[in-house]
Amino acid sequence: MNLVKLKTVEYPESDGQPMGETDEHRDAMIRIIELLKRHFRNQMVYVSGDLLVYYEQGDPSKFIVPDAFIAKGVEQKRRRIYRLWHEGVVPQLVIETTSKSTRARDTKDKPELFAKLGIHEYFLHDPTGEYLEPSLQGYRLINGAYQQIDPDSQGGLFSEELGLILRVTDGDLNLFDPNSGKRLLTNAETAKAEAAARKQAVAERKQAVAECKQAVAALNEESKARQRAEAEKQAAEVEIERLRSELKKYRS
């Protein structure tokens, strides 16, 4: 009996390209991945970026490398590559950090492929503001084609997949809770905010203690004043009685 040995297909873990064109682009990519991971922590959502996503089993040339993406229903654990047929879930959202060298792919090649794959939402952000106008753009898949998401009055774009508003503030792409209006924080920003809150709490406690001491001191002074007034009253009453006694003596 002849046994046919099946050829093992190798799926490389790197495409040989740098993570970001510049420090600014790399930092922007890392920052948005961190924000998404914090947002979906303890949930069944896989968040990653700059990872090779293979979309055709058996053909290692069929891959794409999103700068940031989420896949709901997939465990959040470390992966070396993402294979659609293995994970069973197509990412629902992709965010690309656009640069001079990626603008053509980000605005033409990738959206065509993402639409074919069925990625529901696609966002592009240019941290330098030089290659996209406006610098933040968003698209939603409707009937197999991407339709541009209309910005709100502040230029923000609502993501159905995230349940958040993407908005550029102070030069950074940020995520906002549409209900509270609060901006999502990075780990460093959270630690800084918590430290500031602790410092504020300590200051408030010290202020409360000082105010209590002042109140106690005021009450003590008030008590002493009442005691002095009572003593003076009693002394006055004694003196009145003494004078009345002397007056009786003179009259008798």
Question: What is the pLDDT at residue 251?
Answer: 75
Query: At which residue do the structure tokens 């968003």 appear?
Result: 138
User: What are the tokens at 80?
Assistant: 């070396």
CATH of domain 23-184: 3.90.1570.10
The percentage of residues in the chain with a pLDDT greater than 70, rounded to a whole number, is: 95
Question: What is the pLDDT at residue 36?
Answer: 97
pLDDT at 184 over 50: yes
CA dist 241 and 160 (Å) reads: 90
Look at the chain and count its residues: 252
15 compared with 43, residue with greater pLDDT: 43
pLDDT per position as a tens digit, 128-148: 999 999 999 999 999 999 999
Q: What are the domain boundaries of the chain?
A: 23-184
User: Measuring CA to CA, how many Å separate 204 from each of 78, 179, 210, 211, 217?
Assistant: 43, 29, 10, 10, 20
Local structure of 40: helix, strand or coil? coil
Pairing of strands 172-176, 93-97: unpaired
Answer for the pair 17, 65: CB distance below 8 angstroms, yes or no: yes
CA dist 39 and 5 (Å) reads: 46
Q: Which helix (H) or strand (E) holds 175?
A: strand 172-176
pLDDT at 71 over 50: yes
Pairing of strands 172-176, 164-169: antiparallel
The band of 18, judged by pLDDT with boundaries at 50, 70 and 90, is low
Q: What are the residue ranges of helices labelled H in the chain?
A: 23-39, 84-87, 103-104, 110-117, 187-251
Q: At residue 242, what is the residue type?
A: R
Q: Which helix (H) or strand (E) holds 122?
A: strand 121-125
Q: Which pTM does this prediction carry?
A: 0.78
pLDDT at 4 over 50: no
Question: What is the pLDDT at residue 90?
Answer: 98
Region of 181 on the Ramachandran plot (φ > 0 left; ψ -120 to 50 alpha; else beta): left
Question: What is the pLDDT at residue 167?
Answer: 97
